[in-house]
Each structure stands twice: as structure tokens, then as C-alpha cells.
Amino acid sequence: MSVSHIPTRDAASARLVANRVLATLLCAGLLAAWLLPFATMSPNRLASGQTVGLSEALSAWQVFAFLALSAILAVAALRRPLPRELAHGVVLLASLGLLLITLYSLGDYAQRTLVEESPSARVSQGSAFWVMVFCCALAAIDAFQRAASGWLLRLGYMLIAGGSVAMLFASGHFDDLSIMREYANIRDNFADQFITHLVLVGSALGPALLIGVPLGLLAHRRVRLQGTLFSVLNFFQTIPSIALFALLVAPLSALGNAFPLLGEWGVKGIGAAPAIIALVMYALLPVVRNTYAGLKGVPPATVEAARGMGMTTRQVLWRVEIPLALPVMLSGLRIVTVQAIGLTVVAALIGAGGLGAFIFQGLGQYAIDLVLLGAIPTIVLAVIADFTLQMLVVLSKPAGTRR
Amino acid sequence: MIELQGLTKRYGETRVVDDISLTVEQGEFCVLIGPSGCGKSTTLKMINRLIAHSEGKILVGGEDITTLPPERLRRRIGYAIQSIGLFPHWRVADNIATVPKLLKWPSSRIAERVDELLALFQLDDEGLHDKYPHQLSGGQAQRVGVARALAADPDVLLMDEPFGAVDPLTRDTLQAELARVHRQTGKTIVFVTHDMDEALRLASRVALLNAGQLVQYDRPAELLVAPANDFVRDFIGRADLGLKLLSRRRVEEYCRPAQRTRNNAIASAPITWQVDANDRPMALLGGRLGESETARTVVNPEWTATPDMSMKEALSRMVWFRVTALPVLDGEGRLLGEVTMAGVMGHRP
């Protein structure tokens, strides 16, 4: 009796709740808001501070907005009364609203508090803040998946969400937060390292494509080369990144010493040269593999028809093979870009600079804000790159095969 | 128009095409047929140099094909394969325009030619011009494939099992259409298939290949009545050789004058047709198996014949409706003559 009872109850709750992911996220977010600290306040940069709960940190209207948006999300998770399609739209708007309220409240709390406290006091975000931000993002991603929405809608949503957050930052709303004060201290250096990071990623991707795409083409044309090529590239991929960076130091410094001209060009044991070489080596496998897979995916009959019509080998490549292989090739580029943005952090260890510099510096000083100043922009960069290239993959699908 | 002289293709020691010589005349519809692996497709692909031949010579329009760069040669020869050969990322119009674009025709001439071909294949009224291949039905995609092959108005058309992947009903339509296009354009066509019925229906000459060798090269009727050896007989289908032959014959060849009467009383011959004032047959007197010689059978439109019907179909109708004669009708339904069971038997193949 009791055994058969369980599925019945399950079925009943399934009838009531249509979106279990959303329900779980909402529970997690509310639980965190209730139990975990929303912010911490400390007397100075390095001292540990006291925790502040959500109810303490938020003003009356913020609490009201927070509860109202949570209630809307709860209703959207239910099977009734909202029709499914409408519910997805409601989730997208409400989770964005909740995200903005969370961000705004934190900045607002910092502003209100620090008027009363000493100038050296610091307000930082607490664990509840992170959980709430995370839950809002996941709820939106899940809603997009469920709605099977088109890329244009996603792009619009991302622009609105990113734009509103950027405007909050630009207006100086967060300037009283600990992390932003840390940022104010290193503003110029931050801009330099950010650009260094982008330059490192860019100068690794360029050669990776220039070498990788022809290699992929070669692997496709010369079947016998495939085995050797892929095992060499696979081998690179298995070397841990720190080890590879370290391994390159000795030969490159030797090279730079032996040929002073090369040294003048920047070929040295530490710095950008080993970083870029290592990044290229890691990027090669995905680029070659996806180029090869993309070309292999072109139906042989299509290629034969193209040849039979009188296209030259080059025309077959540019008019038929590459257009049809492009989506797969671009998804290789997507993997490689996201990977390179992450690996470049490690390159800071061998003096290449980039956002990783802040992370390692912060770790050395136990300054968590400095670590976050390196980590958060890295994550944002990776997300933006991933999203942009995902759009490109969709757009590059030949119109005839795009769905 | 196309001459194969001692054509051979070797892969290592194996000869997949072994010393084939044949000539396809201008305007001929030559079907290469044979069991799987007989070398028919290889032979076809050697004509446009998709596969290089090992020995022998191929002349197209009197010119040795090796004297031209392969791309130039291929742009002069139409090439059609199964519909998966369409470029999925190009619209129908762009697919058809492939070769004219390679030949750098002015765009106005290309547009004109595309419209002309869409009309020729009756694809013009369906708004297909801007569709992508995956939006087409199997039959439409196949017709686009043939239209694409004809785009630059080549004298020679090579077709490699183009109707292999479509359903029987569509294939029937496509075959009829191809026969019509062949009559209208007078192209020289080399066509590969493994379907004997398709070969007999379309070909003006059939080249039967086995194990890389040419077994017989003849008109379809000759192939049927004078098969060169047992292999030919087996491949055609020994069991229904007679029916295959009849499928090549048309009712008008067997049609003979009919005996008519205006009233239903007297039958002046074993088979007599009772006609109305407009010479339309109303009933058959006699001529029904298992009935008396004077039995009257009302003519049913399903067991009549037309002059261009195949004799195989006429015979099939006689068997199905258990009559020994069919009235042959003209377009207005008037009695032209009759075909009889005895006539089928008495006619020398």
C-alpha cells in the first residue's frame, strides 16, 4: 500500500508543478536569502567582518520587490494558471528583475552604510548574494531552453540584461562596494591587464586558425596522415597547462640567448612568447578536429556532383565544402576561444600578464576582492565569447539547412 | 558522338572495366546496365574523367577527352546523380545555374535559362525557384537535378542511377518526363541503372555489362528476341522475357480491323462488336472465356485499349477481365479496331 502510494503523490506534485527546475532554483534562492549572509561589513580592507542578513540589508521597497518577484516565479513554475509559453516569458522577465534588484540592493546597502561608518570600512557581497545571482541566471537559461527560443530573442535579452548591469556600474552605484574600491586602486593597471589578456587570447587564436584549419584540411585529404596528426595533438592536450608553460621556459630562453635578434622580438623564457606558444598548442586539437569533422560531414555525393559539374578543386572547397563545414568549424573556434580565455589566467604565472595577474596577486595577499577582480571579468569574457560564437554558429548554418 | 575504344580501368591487378568498345550515336539514349560491381558506374564516370581510365581511348564529339582540362570537359557534359547531389545551401535557381555560373554567362542569360528549364520540367508554377533542396519532394528534387545537368545546354548528358532513390510511382512519372525531354531536346544520353524495366522503357540502345566486360550492345527489342547468351537471358529475367517484349510493343502494332454490328442479334464472326450510331462499342458478342459463343458482354471502359498503350498492359487487361479481345478506341471513344489473344500469340516477336 505504502509502496504504491509514492508514485501517486509524485504524480500529484507533477500535476501541480510544471517546471521543477525553476521550483528547485527558487527554493534554493529563498533558502539562501533566509539562512546565509547577504553582505559582510568589515572595518578595513584585510580584517574579517560581520555578516548582514537580507532583511537587514534591504530597504522596505526592496524587500517588497524581492518577495513579489519570487511570488511571480513561484506561480510561473506551477502548471496553472499561466499557459506554458507565457510562463517562459514571465520567468525571463522576473528573473532579470530579481537579478537587478539583488545587484541594486547590495550597492544601495553599501552606500547607506558607509555614510555612517569610517572611510576605511568595507562592504562586500555575501554568499546569499552569489547564490541568488546564480539562481537567477540559471532560471533564465532554463527558460530559454524550454521555450526553444530563436537566437534573435536570446541576443536581445542578453543585450538588455548586460546593458542594465553595465549601466548600474557606470552610474557609480557600486562604487562603495569593497570590490569596486579595490578596483579604483588599480584602475589603470586593470585596463592594461585586461587588454593584455585579450591580446594574448587573440594572438593565440590567429596562429591556431592559420595552422589548424590547413591541418584539418590535410587530415581530410590525406587519410594516412590522420593517425599521426591526431595522436600528436592529443598528446599536447594531455599535458597540464602549468607543466607546459614551465616546459617552454628553458628552450625559449636558450633560443632568445642564442639569437639576440629573436630576443629583441620578445622570444624569451618568460612573458608572452611561451604563453602564446602553449595556448596555440592547446588550441590546435579542437581546431583541427572540428575542421576535419566538418569537412567529413559534407555528403560525398554533393562533392562528387560539384566535381562532375566542372568545379575546380578550389571551387569545390570554397563554394561547397567550406560553407557546409563552417558551422562545425566555428563550434571548434568557440571551444578554443573559451578555453584560451581560461588558460590565459594561468599564463600570468610565467609573467605573461593578463587578468590572472590579479588572481595570483590576490591569492598571495589574502585579498579576496583582488582575486574576484581577476576572476569575474574572466568569466564574463568567456560567457560573452561563448554566446557570440554560438550566435555565429547558428548564423553560419547554410540557409537551406538552418532550422 | 561518344566513342569508347578498348576502355579499361585497373585497380592494381583487378580490371573493373575490361576492354569495352562501343559507340553512342548523336541523339541516342544509351543505357548501361548490369549487376552490382559490373563496372557500369565506373564506365560512366570515366567519360567525364571523374575516374581516370587506365587504357584505351574515349572520344566525345570526335575529341579525345584527355586533350582537355577535366573541368572544361565536365562543363560541356551534363551530369546528374541521385537528388542528394543537390547543393543543400543553394536555392533551386542557384543549383540549376551552377554550370552557367562556372561558364560566366551574363546573369540575365542565366535567369532566362533557369526559367526555361523550370518550365521544361513543369517546376515553374509551384514557387520552387527560391526554395532550398530540403523543402522539395523527392520527385521535385530529382527533376531539379536533371534540370541542373541540362543548364548549360550540353550535347551529352550523363546520368548515374538518377531515379534510384524515389518511390515507384514517382519514378514512373520521372521516366515518362525524361523520355519526353529526350524527344524534345535530342540530347545524347548515357544512363546507368540496374533496373531492366527502366532500361527497356527509356533506352534506344542497351549496353549490358558483366564483370567489367560488355556482353551485348543492342536495341532493346534485339536484346529481348536475340539475347547473346544465357547471362543476358537470365539478367533480363528468363521467366518473363515474353512480357518484357510485350512491354516494348504498342497496341497499334497488333491492332486489326474489328467486325461490327448495329444490333445484338447476330454475330457474324467469333468476335463481333456491337456499336452505337457514333461507332462507339457497346458490347462484345462472343469472345468471353467460359461463356457460349454468342454471349453478350457489355463493354467496360476498364477493358478497352488505346493505340499507344503497351501490349503488356493490354494483355494484362484481357487476363484480368477474362476476355479474349479488347476494343481499341480513338480519342473520342470510337472503335478503331481490336486486339485479340490470338493476335498476341500469332504475332512473330
**Domain CATH for B288:** 3.10.580.10
Cα separation, A316 vs B145, whole angstroms: 18
pLDDT in tens, B95-113: 999 999 999 999 999 999 9
pLDDT of A4 = 45
Same domain, yes or no: B146 and B221: yes
B225 compared with A10, residue with greater pLDDT: B225
User: Across B118-122, B215-219, B240-244, B283-287, which has the greatest mean pLDDT?
Assistant: B215-219
pLDDT of A2 = 43
Determine the distance in angstroms separating the CA of B73 from the nearest CA of chain A, rounded to an integer.
7
Cα separation, A44 vs A367, whole angstroms: 12
What's the pTM? 0.78
Q: Does B322 touch chain A (CB under 8 A)?
A: no
B220 compared with B46, residue with greater pLDDT: B46
Reading phi first (left if > 0) and then psi (alpha if -120 to 50, else beta), residue B166 is in: beta
pLDDT in tens, A359-374: 998 898 888 888 999 9
Same domain, yes or no: B102 and B219: yes
pLDDT of A402 = 52
Cα separation, A298 vs B88, whole angstroms: 10
Q: Does B162 touch chain A (CB under 8 A)?
A: no
pLDDT of A403 = 44
Same domain, yes or no: B260 and B194: no
- DSSP state for residue B323 in the 8-state scheme: B
Q: How many CB pairs under 8 A join A and B?
A: 66
- Give the nearest chain B residue to A399 (CA atoms): B89
Residues of B within 8 A of A309 (CB-CB) are 74-75, 79, 98-99, 102, 148
Q: Of B233, B248, B263, which closes a domain?
A: B248
- Give the nearest chain A residue to B77 (CA atoms): A309
Residues of B within 8 A of A396 (CB-CB) are none
Within chain A, how many helices (H) and strands (E) appear?
A: 17, 3
Q: Does A312 touch chain B (CB under 8 A)?
A: yes
pLDDT of B289 = 63
CB nearest to A310's CB, from B74, B84, B90: B74
Q: Does B89 touch chain A (CB under 8 A)?
A: yes
Q: Does B48 touch chain A (CB under 8 A)?
A: yes
Instruction: Please judge whether A309 and B74 are an interchain contact, meaning their C-beta atoms are less than 8 angstroms apart.
Output: yes
- Give the nearest chain A residue to B46 (CA atoms): A308
- Number of residues assigned to chain A: 403
Q: Of B197, B225, B248, which closes a domain?
A: B248
CB nearest to A324's CB, from B82, B89, B148: B89
- Give the nearest chain A residue to B82 (CA atoms): A301
Determine the distance in angstroms separating the CA of B139 from the nearest CA of chain A, rounded to an integer.
18
Q: If you search the block for the grid coordinates 506551477, which residue do you land on?
A: A78
CB nearest to A302's CB, from B50, B87, B132: B87
Same domain, yes or no: B169 and B68: yes
Query: Which residues lie below 8 Å from residue B47, measured CB to CB, with a gap of 6+?
Result: B2, B4, B58, B60, B65, B77, B156, B158, B190
Strand order from edge to edge, sheet including B188-193: B77-80, B156-160, B188-193, B29-33, B205-210, B213-218
Strand order from edge to edge, sheet including B55-60: B14-24, B2-11, B55-60, B63-64
Same domain, yes or no: B236 and B279: no
Same domain, yes or no: B237 and B259: no
Test mutation, B42, B87, B144, chain A, max A CBs within 10 A: B87
Average pLDDT, chain A: 85
Same domain, yes or no: B256 and B244: no
- What is the rounded average pLDDT of the residues B232-258? 83
Among residues 199-258 of chain B, which lie with CB inside 8 Å of chain A?
A: none
CB nearest to B85's CB, from A302, A310, A399: A302
pLDDT of B295 = 75
Identify the CATH number of the domain in which residue B160 sits: 3.40.50.300
Q: Does B82 touch chain A (CB under 8 A)?
A: yes
Same domain, yes or no: B325 and B238: no
Q: Does A263 touch chain B (CB under 8 A)?
A: no
B158 compared with A17, residue with greater pLDDT: B158
pLDDT of B58 = 92
Among residues 282-301 of chain A, which lie with CB inside 8 Å of chain B?
A: 299, 301
For chain A, domain boundaries: 2-176, 184-396
**pLDDT at residue B170 tops 90:** no
Determine the distance in angstroms separating the CA of B47 from the nearest CA of chain A, rounded to an integer.
11
Average pLDDT, chain B: 87
pLDDT of B128 = 85
CB nearest to A308's CB, from B72, B79, B82: B79
pLDDT bucket at B43, cuts 50 / 70 / 90: very high
pLDDT bucket at A266, cuts 50 / 70 / 90: low
- Is domain A184-396 classified as CATH 1.10.3720.10? yes
Determine the structural domain holding residue B333 and report its residue range: 252-346
A126: cell is: 555575501
CA angle, corner A310, sides to B44 and B67, nearest 5?
75
pLDDT in tens, A46-98: 677 788 888 888 888 998 999 999 999 998 888 877 888 888 888 999 999 99
Determine the distance in angstroms separating the CA of A402 from the nearest CA of chain B, rounded to an integer.
9
From the CA atom positions of chain A, what is the Rg in Å?
26
- Structural domains in chain B (count): 2
Residues of B within 8 A of A320 (CB-CB) are 87
Same domain, yes or no: B244 and B256: no
Cα separation, A96 vs A217, whole angstroms: 44
pLDDT of B294 = 67
Query: Which residues lie below 8 Å from residue A53, measured CB to CB, with a gap of 6+?
Result: A37, A38, A128
A146-155, A193-202, A393-402, B321-330: least confidently modelled range: A393-402
pLDDT in tens, A332-352: 999 999 999 999 998 888 878
Residues of B within 8 A of A401 (CB-CB) are 88-89, 132, 134
Burial class (CB in 10 A: 0-12, 13-18, 19+), B331: exposed
CB nearest to B71's CB, from A302, A305, A312: A312
A7 compared with B212, residue with greater pLDDT: B212
Q: Nearest-CA neighbor of A122 among A50, A21, A64?
A: A50
Instruction: Please judge whether A301 and B102 are an interchain contact, meaning their C-beta atoms are less than 8 angstroms apart.
Output: no
Q: Does B51 touch chain A (CB under 8 A)?
A: no
Q: Looking at chain B, list the stretches that DSSP marks H as alpha helix, in order from N- to C-terminal side.
A: 40-47, 70-76, 92-96, 98-102, 107-120, 138-150, 168-185, 196-202, 220-225, 230-236, 241-248, 251-254, 311-321, 341-346
A356-365 vs A368-396: helix crossing angle, rounded to 10: 160
Q: Does B164 touch chain A (CB under 8 A)?
A: no
SS3 for B285?
strand
Same domain, yes or no: B109 and B166: yes
CB nearest to B85's CB, from A305, A312, A315: A305
Q: Does B104 touch chain A (CB under 8 A)?
A: no
Q: Does B105 touch chain A (CB under 8 A)?
A: no
pLDDT bucket at B83, cuts 50 / 70 / 90: low
Determine the distance in angstroms separating the CA of A311 from the nearest CA of chain B, rounded to an integer.
6
Same domain, yes or no: B156 and B290: no
Q: Of B248, B266, B287, which closes a domain?
A: B248
A33-42, A314-323, A392-401: least confidently modelled range: A392-401
- DSSP state for residue B35 in the 8-state scheme: S
Instruction: Please judge whether B81 and A312 are an interchain contact, meaning their C-beta atoms are less than 8 angstroms apart.
Output: no
**Kind and range of the H or E run holding A152:** helix A151-170
- Give the nearest chain B residue to A322 (CA atoms): B89
Cα separation, B212 vs B192, whole angstroms: 14
Cα separation, A259 vs A265, whole angstroms: 10
Determine the distance in angstroms separating the CA of A17 from the nearest CA of chain B, rounded to an integer.
39
Same domain, yes or no: B280 and B258: yes
